[in-house]
Chain A
């Protein structure tokens, strides 16, 4: 069964800290991996999309890496801010469907 796991489930850090969110998946035959952000009661906002042929993608203070052979991806957030507080979801496209992890709830304390 194709599964996506995110660790930790929750993370609390002081403002300004650099942090890493982890995502692992069970099947290396993927098309792409996408990181989303979700604020409470809101939809999902796409942060980064990494194709299977790529190793990383960057957008501002965010950097996502992909290692297909080990079934892992990391989302690196530099110089965290209180506005980064949200739930971060990792999703892997194995076929026509996207499989989601359960997310990491991030709290950045001022």
Chain B
């Protein structure tokens, strides 16, 4: 079955530590996205990539970094510069045309300890 796999499901980060969230898709989609979800705030876009080796900042990119070395993979690193990283992180993908819909992964819950 085609889909998006996010791992791990739960992640704990110590203060000052960088952590990387994995996102892999086998849908042959060109575009991939990272969203952050906080209670009462809805989904906010962190970074997106429409093609391999290219990505753009979303609305809340500060303290995050990404790479897109392969079409199937779009990992997100939460750096120590992100002051409030505790949240639910969702990865999505879409076909290259803008009339395509989005497919989401099952999410990673990150908690700072």
For the side of the interface on B, what is the size category?
Answer: 20 to 34
Check: B90 CB closer than 8 A to any chain A CB.
Answer: yes
Check: B42 CB closer than 8 A to any chain A CB.
Answer: yes
* Known pairs A43-B104, A46-B101, A102-B42; A96 contacts B31 (CB<8 A): yes
CB distance from A90 to the nearest CB of B (A): 11
Segment at the B interface, from A30-38, A60-68, A78-86: A30-38
CB distance from B1 to the nearest CB of A (A): 14
Q: Which chain A residue lies CB-closest to B4? A: A43
Q: Which chain A residue lies CB-closest to B42? A: A102
0 or 1 for each of B55-85: is its CB under 8 Å from A? (1 = yes): 0001000000000000000000000000000
Q: Are B109 and A43 in contact (CB under 8 A)?
A: no
* Known pairs A96-B31, A96-B98; A43 contacts B42 (CB<8 A): no
**Chain A residues within an 8 Å CB radius of B105:** 43
Q: Which of A32, A43, A102, A103 contacts B99 (CB 8 A)?
A: A32
**Chain A residues within an 8 Å CB radius of B31:** 96
* Known pairs A41-B109, A42-B106, A95-B98; A100 contacts B43 (CB<8 A): yes
Which residues of A come within 8 Å of B, CB atoms?
Answer: 31-32, 34, 36, 41-46, 49, 51-52, 89, 91, 93, 95-98, 100-103
Q: List 22 A-B contacts (CB under 8 A).
A: A34-B101, A41-B88, A41-B107, A42-B107, A43-B90, A43-B104, A44-B90, A45-B104, A46-B101, A46-B102, A46-B104, A91-B102, A93-B98, A93-B99, A96-B50, A97-B58, A98-B92, A100-B42, A102-B40, A102-B41, A102-B42, A103-B42
Which residues of B come within 8 Å of A, CB atoms?
Answer: 6, 31, 33, 40-43, 45, 48, 50, 58, 88, 90, 92, 98-99, 101-107, 109
